[in-house]
Chain A
Amino acid sequence: QKEVEQNSGPLSVPEGAIASLNCTYSDRGSQSFFWYRQYSGKSPELIMSIYSNGDKEDGRFTAQLNKASQYVSLLIRDSQPSDSATYLCAVKPHNDMRFGAGTRLTVKP
């Protein structure tokens, strides 16, 4: 079982729609969860962090965490073509951060 699992996609949504990205993790002791966005050929950039069960909103982005189900998600409202990128889920069970393989999102105008 992989430490962090994501659907590789590609996920395609029309402009203005809600994009939903999902992630599961294996280490129940994990305390910190992050979403990174990575444009092609670039390095990952931090979008959201979440540490407690429930929802956390930041602009068009909402992160959701359910530790009992070992599940993290990211919702992107009013998706824009500029949101087209690979989204990486990351989990920090100890000192180091572990990443999923990423979900490629395409937002079509």
Chain B
Amino acid sequence: ETGVTQSPTHLIKTRGQQVTLRCSSQSGHNTVSWYQQALGQGPQFIFQYYREEENGRGNFPPRFSGLQFPNYSSELNVNALELDDSALYLCASSEAGGSGVNSPLHFGNGTRLTVT
């Protein structure tokens, strides 16, 4: 069974630039969620994708956007980077969106983004 994989592992960007982070879901999982985790904080929900559609969104501005592809992999795009966007970005997959209330999340190793 292939787990959740994320790329790249580390990234350094300059304020104002744009970044794309990538995620491949665990085999058999059709739902992908993205989280931002600042140092010393818990993961904060950005959004979730199910069947290539956004299926829920947290309190993040529109410059955070995403995509899900037919193979259930996903991208997180952040435009106009700010210093406060420096964080660990976590991708997690689960078995079912919508009615899958009991489905736990399985996390990838994350992408550490530093904005200077």
| Interface residue ranges, A against B (CB under 8 Å) | 4, 31-32, 34, 42-46, 49, 51, 88, 90, 92, 94-102
Check B109 for interface membership: any CB of A closer than 8 A. yes
Which B residues touch A49, using CB under 8 A?
102, 104
Contacting residues, chain A, for B102 (C-beta < 8 A): 31-32, 49, 51, 92
- Chain A residues in 8 Å Cβ range of B105: 34, 46, 90, 97
Indicate if the CB atoms of B100 and A96 lie closer than 8 Å: no
Q: Are B104 and A34 in contact (CB under 8 A)?
A: yes
A102 touches B101 (CB 8 A): no
Q: Cβ of A101: which chain B residues have Cβ within 8 Å of it?
A: 40-42
Tell me, in angstroms, the Cα distance from A88 to B108 when the chains sit together.
16
Q: Does chain A have a CB within 8 A of B72?
A: no
Contact of B42 with A43 in the complex, beta carbons under 8 Å:
no
Selected contact of A43 from candidates B45, B56, B108, CB within 8 Å: B108
Contact A43 B109 (CB under 8 A): yes
Which among A31, A46, A88 is the interface contact of B43 at CB below 8 angstroms?
A: A88
Contacts of B101 in A (CB 8 A): 31-32, 92, 94-95
- Residues of the A chain whose Cβ atoms lie less than 8 Å from the Cβ of B44: 99
Residue of A nearest to B4 (CB): A43
Q: What separation, in Å, do the CA atoms of A10 and B40 have in the docked complex? A: 12
| 7 residue pairs A–B, Cβ–Cβ below 8 Å | A4-B42, A32-B102, A43-B88, A94-B56, A96-B45, A99-B42, A99-B43
- Say yes or no for B58: interface residue by CB 8 A criterion: yes
